[in-house]
Chain A
Amino acid sequence: MKNLYLLSLLLLALYQPIACAHAVVTDYSLKITPIHENQADKVSLDFNSKIELGLSQVFLVSKGDKQTLLTIGKGDKQGRVNIEIPALVSGDYALKLKVFAADGHLTEDVIHFTVAP
């Protein structure tokens, strides 16, 4: 019986959640400053947590879900990340984020935006 009870405690100890999603985007410049057609630009994202830039990636997703790695840099305030956006033709795009937060959680997120003609 003791072994069975210990087995039950072990089983309880052998399960944990899958998704880790602590760092979230609380604000981003695209909300108020759209990207203009055929013009390279910079987008800033504000996170709720400190971000490890060297272990984070941002991809530009274009039509057909084609992904291009973008250059990212530290912003002018805590938790802000700046992203270099190349010149784009008009259409629907998204930024796909893979972000490693200072608390050790790896988060993935997607932000959609449109480049108007």
Chain B
Amino acid sequence: MAGIADFLDSLIGGFALVCFAFAVGSLFWGLFVLRPWLRDAGYPAVLLERTVKLLYAGGFALAGAQVFKIILKIWLMSAVLDKWPFPEFAETTQFIGGIVRALFTLVLAGYCYCVLSKNPYSKDYWQTAGLVAVPMIISGAWLVHAAGRFDNPVILMGLTVIHQLAAAAWIGGVFHLVNIWLMRSKKQISADLWPLLLKRFSLFGMASVGVILLSGVPMALQYIDSWNGFIGTGYGNLLMVKIILLALALSLAWLNKSAVADYFVTRDGHALNYRVPYYIEAEAFVLITLLFTAASLASQPPSIDIPNLTASWQEVVDMFTPRVPRTASPTHQALIAGEAGRVAIIGQVPSEAATAWSDYNHNIAGIFLTTMSFFAMLSYVKRLPSAFSGFERYLGYLTRYWPIGFVGLGIFLFFRSDAETWPLGPIGFWESTFNNGEVLQHRIATLLVFVLGVLELVARLPRNQNSRLPYFFPILAAFGGLMLLTHSHVGFQAKSAFLIQIGHTLMGVFSLVLACGRWLELKLDRPGKDIAGFISVAALFQIGLILMFYREPLY
């Protein structure tokens, strides 16, 4: 069961950051955006009730996540070290700091549940909630990876806390904007509040992003000491992903800001009501992914510590160089024959068959995706050039039912992903799934691809035109993107693992673009709808190209 413990242990870090964003973001939202104590605010009770509820729900969930994290560490250590980790674990910073933080979080959530919820219009109670949150926020400093550093730990711990605080203020605020839109859609709050709160949040959001950058840049300079460290290590690579996601989120935020500014000039609410809510939903997708990437970043050794394991920029470029895809696979017997040598510690022999097996899997998956996305892109072309007009009668089916490729891909991956396990290999299905985190990841990905294909196919049948089924595609694609962004290959040398990681993280970014594009295509009106849709399938095409040219380092 070590695989599940490992999986859950790493899962809980990102989940805790999301809860933190809900709790602390709600506090900032109440104190700086809503300011319900102002005379002219005139908010309905239901709005404040919901705001405080999100605050204490986030707090209780964070306390639970903190305790669960400790339980998982105990479980993981028992499994990995093969011994009961007490009394030693009770003396560690992680145990003491985790318990203390959980208690402080409970105090905050309890105060908001028992007191603030009954006095949501009072400035004093909001400010007290802010003060009660301070110990919880500060106690988090001992749980970040700066706490284990030898150089400038106090400064780095402080910067990390400020960075987390600013991120929570921004991301929590975006969660609240989604909440405000949902309440407005149900007519629970006045329509006037929507533009008003959007405008107030614009300024607050920009200030939060400013603090994120001001605290993040010095940390990055402390952990990465060269351009090569930025380009050629897992830490640098995930930081680059964070920067790309930040840019994506800021692009959506800029669209929102422009629409709000236009509204206050023209009083035309079309963009505000038919575009901005969906940009914000897409922004929330991106920001949650950003939080999980941040949690993933904390599990990487900083670039400055591994100068001998850093890949050169030439090696990085080589991973994306176009080449003829591998369309012939080594036999399963050849693969299994090389496994004993590959996994041995003493006398390890790199397996060319294992590398070729993996290349074949990735390259064939790439051919699946490029073909599917090619037909998907064709669906945006009104008419084919005259030389291809004979194909037009088939075009309708091909451009409509291209997701069937996902079903085929899912079946292909099921048989090929982990050749040493069932159904091809000697290790049983349950044994491999629950004892190996990487196999568990592959199983989830395979199921995801298959389900995604089936749901999208069913959604495209004429009788399901008005169902909600099409929305599952972007949801599952976003989840798949998150898996790719945090995908890891254990048992590799750090440099090999990184060279594998860069392809996966880039595909993860494109998957998120695919998800957000499709979500916006389903929600927006024209021409934004078509632009978002085309960007979405073009991102799928890019994923296909990366997979088609993928080459795994020999290990």
Contact: B148 with A11, CB < 8 Å?
A: no
Of B88, B144, B299, B346, which is within 8 A of A54 by CB? B88
Is A98 part of the contact surface with B, judged by Cβ < 8 Å?
yes
- Of B114-122, B408-416, B478-486, the segment with at least 4 beta carbons within 8 Å of chain A is B478-486
Contact: A8 with B482, CB < 8 Å?
A: no
Q: Which A residue's beta carbon lies closest to that of B469?
A: A4
Is A106 part of the contact surface with B, judged by Cβ < 8 Å?
yes
> How many residues belonging to B are interface residues under a CB distance threshold of 8 Å?
72
Among A11-31, those with CB < 8 Å from B are 11-24, 26
Is A78 part of the contact surface with B, judged by Cβ < 8 Å?
yes
Cα A104 to Cα B66 with chains together (Å): 12
A17 CB contacts on chain B under 8 angstroms: 10, 295-296, 299, 486-488
A101 CB contacts on chain B under 8 angstroms: 148
Contact: B346 with A18, CB < 8 Å?
A: no
Whether A110 touches B345, Cβ cut-off 8 Å, given contacts A2-B182, A104-B94, is yes
Among B111-157, those with CB < 8 Å from A are 143-150
A62 CB contacts on chain B under 8 angstroms: 346
A64 CB contacts on chain B under 8 angstroms: 346
Whether A23 touches B148, Cβ cut-off 8 Å, given contacts A12-B285, A15-B479, A106-B80, is yes
Of B7, B144, B185, which is within 8 A of A103 by CB? B144
Is B284 part of the contact surface with A, judged by Cβ < 8 Å?
yes
Is B468 part of the contact surface with A, judged by Cβ < 8 Å?
yes
Whether A55 touches B93, Cβ cut-off 8 Å, given contacts A12-B288, A50-B148, is no
Contact: A92 with B88, CB < 8 Å?
A: no
Q: Which A residue's beta carbon lies closest to that of B13?
A: A16
Cα A101 to Cα B94 with chains together (Å): 9
A48 CB contacts on chain B under 8 angstroms: 149-150, 301-302, 305
Cα A100 to Cα B88 with chains together (Å): 11
Whether A100 touches B77, Cβ cut-off 8 Å, given contacts A7-B475, A18-B7, A65-B344, is yes
Among B297-327, those with CB < 8 Å from A are 298-302, 305-306
Q: Which A residue's beta carbon lies closest to that of B144?
A: A103
A108 CB contacts on chain B under 8 angstroms: 80
Whether A16 touches B345, Cβ cut-off 8 Å, given contacts A55-B77, A55-B85, is no
Contact: A21 with B305, CB < 8 Å?
A: no
B9 CB contacts on chain A under 8 angstroms: 20
Contact: B299 with A8, CB < 8 Å?
A: no
Q: A31 → chain B, closest Cβ, in Å?
A: 11
Contact: A11 with B14, CB < 8 Å?
A: no
Is B201 part of the contact surface with A, judged by Cβ < 8 Å?
no
Of A8, A18, A26, which is within 8 A of B488 by CB? A18
Is B490 part of the contact surface with A, judged by Cβ < 8 Å?
yes
B302 CB contacts on chain A under 8 angstroms: 48
Whether A11 touches B346, Cβ cut-off 8 Å, given contacts A22-B299, A98-B81, A104-B73, is no
Given pairs A16-B292, A20-B9, A103-B94, 18 additional interface contacts (CB within 8 A): A4-B472, A11-B478, A15-B479, A16-B14, A16-B295, A18-B7, A18-B490, A19-B10, A24-B494, A26-B305, A55-B77, A55-B85, A63-B347, A92-B346, A98-B81, A100-B77, A102-B93, A104-B94
B interface vs A, CB < 8 Å?
A: 6-7, 9-15, 18, 73, 76-77, 80-81, 85, 88-89, 91-94, 143-150, 178, 182, 185, 281, 284-285, 288-289, 292, 295-296, 298-302, 305-306, 344-347, 437-438, 440-441, 468, 471-472, 474-476, 478-479, 482-483, 486-488, 490, 494, 497
A-B contact list, 10 entries, CB within 8 Å: A15-B486, A19-B437, A19-B488, A21-B300, A55-B92, A62-B346, A63-B346, A100-B77, A103-B144, A106-B77
